[in-house]
Structure 1
Amino acid sequence: MNAAWQKLTLRNGAPQSWILSSYLHRLVGLLASWQQGSLLMRWSEGLATTVAAILFFLAPFVSTTLIGILMMACGAFWVLLTLSDEGRPGITPMHLAVFVYLAIAVLATALSPVKIAALDGLIILTLNIVVFLLLARVLRSPTLRSTLITVYLMTTAIVSTMGMRQWFFGADALATWVDVDSNLAGTTRVYSSLGNPNLLAGYLIAACMLSAAAVFAWKRWLPKALAVVLVLLNSACLVLTFSRGGWIGYVGGGFVFLLLLVHWFSKYLPRLWRRLAIPFVLGVSAAFVVAAVVAVDPLRDRVLSIFAGREDSSNNFRLNVWAAVREMIAAHPILGIGPGNEAFNQIYPRFQRTGFTALSAYSVILEVLVETGIIGFMAFLWLLTITLSLGWRRIQEMRQAGDREGFWLLGALASMMGMLTHGLVDTVWYRPQISTLWWLMLAIVASYYLFPSRSERDSQ
C-alpha cells in the first residue's frame, strides 16, 4: 500500500533521468554562454521576481488585459531563464502533474465542439501555468519568496482598507447581490477595487491565511504586530463582503491552518496535551464561529440563508445552473467542452433553464469536469494529491528542523484548501486576480521540493 502511494505521489522524485535525456531538455542551457557574459542575467531571478511582484501588486486595480500582458512577461522571463540555465531542469513531481493536465486541456480543445472559444481558454490556462513555472523556480530562494509574499500582503492591506472605507461611508451596489426579499436587502456588501464582493472574498482568503503565517514567519516584533493587523483587517473586510462562499472558504482554510499550526507546535507540549490540542482548538474555534453567528444579526441572517434552499434567490439560481451543468457533463463526459468561460458561454445556452443565464458553472469541481471531462478531473485530483503529499512531507521535515520558513508552507496549503472550499459553491477562478493566486500557492509548495542528489538520480 505504501509503495503504491509513493508511486502515485511520485514520492521518489520526478523521473530526473528521463527528463535529462529528453529532447526538450536539450533546449535547457541553449543560451548559457550568453548568460555568462551578460551583466543583466546576473540579476535574472531578482528581475523575474520583480516582474511577478508588479503582477500581484497591480492585479486588483487594473484591467484583465494588462494582467494578461504581465503574465506573458512572466512567461517570457521563464523561457529566458530556462534557455540560459546551466543547472538541473528543476522539474518537480508537481510540474509533471501540471504538464499532464495541460496536455489534457490541449486535447480537450482540439476535440471541443467550439474550438475557437476553447482555444481562448487554453491560452489563459497556459498563461497561468507559465506564471506557476516562473514562480516555482524563483521562489526556491527564501528571500525572494518572502519578498513576493510581502508585496502581496501589502497590496491586500490597500484593497482591504478600500473595502472598509466602503463599509463605513457606503458604496453603490453594482449588481443585485442580495435577495431583495431578505433582511439584508439594504446591507452594504463591500467590493473594494475588484467590483464584486464574491470576487473580493476569494481574493482575501489567501491574504488571511498568509498574513496569519506571517505572524510566525516574520522575526521581529514590529513586523509581527503588522501581521496581526493584517489578519484583522483582511478578515474583517472578507466578512463584510457577506459572501457566503467566501465565509465557507475562510472557515475551511482557517481550520486547516489551525490544525497545521497545532501540529507544528505540538512537539513542545506534554503528551496529554498533544492528544487534546487539536480537539480543543477546533472546539474553541467552532464555538467562536457559532457565537458570532448568534450574536450578529446580519451574519446570522446571511448564514441561515445558506440553508433556505430554493427560497433564497441565490441558492435557487445556483441549483438551476448546477442542474444544467450536470447535463453538459453527461453530454461531454470524457474530455469535456474545452477550457475557459468562453467555451462555457457558447455551450451552456443549449442546456440552461429558462431565465437562468450563467457565465460559469458556479463550482470549481463542476467547472473542471465540464471543461476537461472525467480525464481532466482525475488529472486535477492527481495534482492536488501530489501537492498535499509534498506539502505535508516538507512540513514534517521543517517542523523537526525548526525552520521558520515552514510557516509560509502552512499558509499556502491553508490558502489552497480555503480557495477549494470556496470553489465548491462559486467559480471565481476564471478571473485572473484569483487564478494567479491559486497558481502562486501551488508554486510556493513546489518551491519547497528537495531535488534528489546525483547519486539518487543515478539509482532511479
Structure 2
Amino acid sequence: MTSVASIWQSITLRNLRLYQWRGGSLLYRISGSLRSWRQGSWFMEWGELIGALLVAAVFGLAPFVNTALIGVLLIACGGFWVLLTLSDEPSQVAFTPIHLLVLLYWGIATIATSLSPVKQAAFNGWVRLTLYLVLFFLMARVFRSPRLRSLFIGFYLHITLIVGVYGMRQWFFGTKALATWVDPTSAQANITRIYSYLGNPNLLAGYLIPAVGLSLGAILVWRGVMPKLLAITMAVVNSVCLVLTFSRGGWLGFVALLFTFAVLLLYWISQYFPPFWQKWAVPIGVGGLAALLVLAIVIVPPVRDRVATIFAGRGDSSNNFRINVWAAVIEMIRDRPILGIGPGNNAFNQVYPLYMRPRYSALSAYSVILEVIVETGFVGLTAFLWLLTVTFNQGWLQLKRLREWEDPNGFWLIAAIATLAGMLAHGLFDTVLYRPQVNTLWWLMVALIASYYLPNSQGINSDSSSN
C-alpha cells in the first residue's frame, strides 16, 4: 500500500518541490525585474484589482458580444498578466502543479502546431489556446485573494442571472429556432428549446453548468437572509433554464454536477454527524439523488422522451449525425495518432472534409476526448488526462485542509470541482467546451482550484500563498 501511495503522489505531483524549481528557473528570475518600478507606481498599487476587473470584463461581456471582442479582452488580460508577473515580488509569483501540467499541454500543442499538415490554420488555433491559458494564469494569480475571488463570483452570478431570466422569457413567450435542434420526426419536434443570448441551446447549457455550481456554492457561502434568497433564486433560474435547453449533453453534465456537489458537501458536513451517519450519509444521499432522477424521468413526459432518444442509436437524427462524425474522426486519428493535426477548429475544418461521410459536415469532433486526440494526438491526451488528475487531486487536498479549518471558502472549491465534473460529462458528447463563452469558464474553474494551492510543509516558508 505504501508503494501504491508513493506512486500516486508522484503522478499527482503532490510532493513536488516547487521552491527548488524556482531557484533554477529563468522565468522565475526575470519575474521581479520590474518590481522597483512597481514600488513607485500608483497604477500598480491596484494591480490585483485591475487584473480582476479585466477578468470581469471578459466574463461580463462574453454572453452578449462576438468572439472577436472576447479575443481583444483576452489579449488585454495576457498583457496585464505579463506586466503583473514582471513587477511581482518573487515570493508572490503563482506557480502550482496545475500550472506545470498546463504548460506541458501547451508545449505539446506547440509541437503539434509545428508539425501540422495545415500549419497556418493550426497556428490560429494555437494562438487562441495560448490566450485561454494566459487568462488562466491571470485568474489563478488574482483569485488567491479570497475577497477578489468572492467578489468576482458574485459579479459573474449576476451576469448569469440576466442570461437565465432572458432564457426563461423565451420559454414563456416562445422563440424561433435558429437551427434544426430537434429531430422533426420525433415526439418533441414542436418543443421550445431556449438559447437566451448564446444563440444555441447546447451552448447555453454548457454556459449554465458553471452558473448552477457556483450559485449552489453561493447559497452556502453568502451570509444574511437576502443574499441567501438571491443565491437560491440564481440556482433555481439557472437550473430550470438549463433543463429547458433540452440539451441531452447538458442534462448529463447537470446530473454529474449535482452528484459530485452532493457527495463533496456530504463529506464536508459528515464530520458533524454521529458515527452511523458518518458512514452512511454519502451512500444514502447518492441513492436519494438517483431515485429523484429516475422519478423525474418517469413522471415528466418531455424529460422521458428526451432521455429515451439517448438510447435510440441511429434512430435519432442527432445520434446518427454524431456517429457518422465520430467514424470520420477516428479515421483522422488513425492517420495521425501521435501528435494529431494541430489545435483549433480551423485546422479541423481543413482536414475533416477529406474524411467526412457525405452530407455529414461538422465543425468539431463532438467529443472533447476525440477532439483532444485529433488535435494533439495520444501524447496530448495523456497530458490532458494528467492535467485533470492533478487538478482534481489538488482540489481534494485543499478541500480537506479547508474542511479541517472550517473555512466557508471551501464551498467555492466544492462548486469548482463539481462544475469541472459536469463540464466533462457534457463534453463527452459535445464540443461546446471549445467555444469562447464556455472555454473561458472551463479555465475559470481550473484557476479557482489552483488559487487555493498551498505547498507542502517543506516549501511553505519559501513558497507561500496569500490565500
Sort the TM-score into its range (normalised by shorter chain).
over 0.9
Tell me, in whole angstroms, the C-alpha distance in 1 between the residues paired with 2:17 and 2:50.
28
Instruction: Pick from 329, 345, 350 the counterpart of residue 341 of structure 1.
Output: 345
Tell me, in whole angstroms, the C-alpha distance in 1 between the residues paired with 2:461 and 2:370.
39
Tell me, in whole angstroms, the C-alpha distance in 1 between the residues paired with 2:76 and 2:222.
30
The answer to whether the 8 Å contact 2:19/2:459 transfers is no
The answer to whether the 8 Å contact 1:167/1:188 transfers is yes
Instruction: Pick from 44, 47, 50 the counterpart of residue 44 of structure 1.
Output: 47
Relative to 1, partners in 2 of residues 1:119 and 1:14: Cα closer, same or farther, differing over 3 Å? farther
Tell me, in whole angstroms, the C-alpha distance in 1 between the residues paired with 2:25 and 2:461.
15
The answer to whether the 8 Å contact 1:409/1:445 transfers is yes
Matching residue of 1:80: 83
Matching residue of 2:223: 219
The one-letter amino acid of 2:422's match is G
The answer to whether the 8 Å contact 1:242/1:302 transfers is yes
Q: Report the 3-state secondary structure (helix = DSSP H, G, I; strand = E; otherwise coil) of the residue aligned with 1:193.
A: coil
Tell me, in whole angstroms, the C-alpha distance in 2 between the residues paired with 1:451 and 1:2.
18
Instruction: Pick from 53, 58, 61 the counterpart of residue 64 of structure 2.
Output: 61
Tell me, in whole angstroms, the C-alpha distance in 1 between the residues paired with 2:206 and 2:57.
20
Matching residue of 2:28: 25
Tell me, in whole angstroms, the C-alpha distance in 2 between the residues paired with 1:394 and 1:220.
26
1:179-328 equivalences in 2 (<5 Å): 179-328=183-332
The reply to whether residue 6 of structure 1 matches residue 3 of structure 2 is: no
Q: 4+ residue stretches of structure 1 with deviation over 6 A?
A: none
Instruction: Pick from 98, 111, 126 the counterpart of residue 107 of structure 1.
Output: 111
Tell me, in whole angstroms, the C-alpha distance in 2 between the residues paired with 1:427 and 1:14.
36
Matching residue of 1:118: 122
Provide the identity percentage.
57
| 1:13 CA displacement | 3.4
Q: Report the 3-state secondary structure (helix = DSSP H, G, I; strand = E; otherwise coil) of the residue aligned with 2:32.
A: coil
Tell me, in whole angstroms, the C-alpha distance in 2 between the residues paired with 1:400 and 1:221.
26
The reply to whether residue 136 of structure 1 matches residue 146 of structure 2 is: no
The answer to whether the 8 Å contact 1:14/1:92 transfers is no
Most deviating of 2-11 and 134-143: 2-11
| 1:452 CA displacement | 5.0
Give me the TM-score of the superposition, normalised by structure 1.
Answer: 0.98
The answer to whether the 8 Å contact 2:18/2:459 transfers is no
| 1:14 CA displacement | 4.7
Tell me, in whole angstroms, the C-alpha distance in 1 between the residues paired with 2:212 and 2:199.
20
Question: Any gaps of 5 or more consecutive residues in structure 2?
Answer: none
What's the C-alpha RMSD, in Å, of the aligned pairs?
A: 1.3
Tell me, in whole angstroms, the C-alpha distance in 2 between the residues paired with 1:253 and 1:357.
31
| 1:226 CA displacement | 1.0
CA shift digits 1:202-253 (9 cap, x unpaired): 0000110110011111122221111111111000000000000000000011
Tell me, in whole angstroms, the C-alpha distance in 1 between the residues paired with 2:275 and 2:357.
57
CA shift digits 1:8-53 (9 cap, x unpaired): 1111235322223222222211111110110110011001101111
| 1:453 CA displacement | 6.5
The answer to whether the 8 Å contact 1:189/1:240 transfers is yes
| 1:274 CA displacement | 1.6
The reply to whether residue 444 of structure 1 matches residue 448 of structure 2 is: yes
The answer to whether the 8 Å contact 1:27/1:83 transfers is yes
The one-letter amino acid of 2:265's match is L
The one-letter amino acid of 1:77's match is F
Give me the TM-score of the superposition, normalised by structure 2.
Answer: 0.96
Tell me, in whole angstroms, the C-alpha distance in 2 between the residues paired with 1:401 and 1:195.
44
The alignment covers a number of residue pairs equal to: 459
| 1:61 CA displacement | 0.3
| 1:148 CA displacement | 1.0
Question: Any gaps of 5 or more consecutive residues in structure 1?
Answer: none
Instruction: Pick from 35, 39, 49 the counterpart of residue 38 of structure 2.
Output: 35
Q: Report the 3-state secondary structure (helix = DSSP H, G, I; strand = E; otherwise coil) of the residue aligned with 1:425.
A: coil
The one-letter amino acid of 1:439's match is W
| 1:326 CA displacement | 0.8
Q: Report the 3-state secondary structure (helix = DSSP H, G, I; strand = E; otherwise coil) of the residue aligned with 1:443.
A: helix
Tell me, in whole angstroms, the C-alpha distance in 2 between the residues paired with 1:453 and 1:316.
53
Relative to 1, partners in 2 of residues 1:454 and 1:42: Cα closer, same or farther, differing over 3 Å? farther
| 1:455 CA displacement | 5.9
CA shift digits 1:259-279 (9 cap, x unpaired): 000000001111111222112
Tell me, in whole angstroms, the C-alpha distance in 2 between the residues paired with 1:102 and 1:334.
15
Relative to 1, partners in 2 of residues 1:361 and 1:232: Cα closer, same or farther, differing over 3 Å? same
The answer to whether the 8 Å contact 1:14/1:93 transfers is no
| 1:4 CA displacement | 1.6
| 1:456 CA displacement | 5.8
Tell me, in whole angstroms, the C-alpha distance in 2 between the residues paired with 1:76 and 1:156.
27
Q: Report the 3-state secondary structure (helix = DSSP H, G, I; strand = E; otherwise coil) of the residue aligned with 2:245.
A: coil
| 1:397 CA displacement | 1.1
Matching residue of 1:380: 384
| 1:353 CA displacement | 0.9
Tell me, in whole angstroms, the C-alpha distance in 2 between the residues paired with 1:405 and 1:137.
17
The answer to whether the 8 Å contact 1:14/1:91 transfers is no
Matching residue of 1:178: 182
Q: Report the 3-state secondary structure (helix = DSSP H, G, I; strand = E; otherwise coil) of the residue aligned with 1:192.
A: coil
Tell me, in whole angstroms, the C-alpha distance in 2 between the residues paired with 1:126 and 1:204.
24
The one-letter amino acid of 1:58's match is L
The answer to whether the 8 Å contact 1:14/1:96 transfers is no
Tell me, in whole angstroms, the C-alpha distance in 1 between the residues paired with 2:420 and 2:255.
12
Tell me, in whole angstroms, the C-alpha distance in 1 between the residues paired with 2:249 and 2:112.
29
Tell me, in whole angstroms, the C-alpha distance in 1 between the residues paired with 2:456 and 2:239.
40
Relative to 1, partners in 2 of residues 1:334 and 1:7: Cα closer, same or farther, differing over 3 Å? same
Tell me, in whole angstroms, the C-alpha distance in 2 between the residues paired with 1:230 and 1:280.
27
Matching residue of 1:431: 435
Instruction: Pick from 381, 395, 401 the counterpart of residue 397 of structure 1.
Output: 401
The answer to whether the 8 Å contact 1:206/1:415 transfers is yes
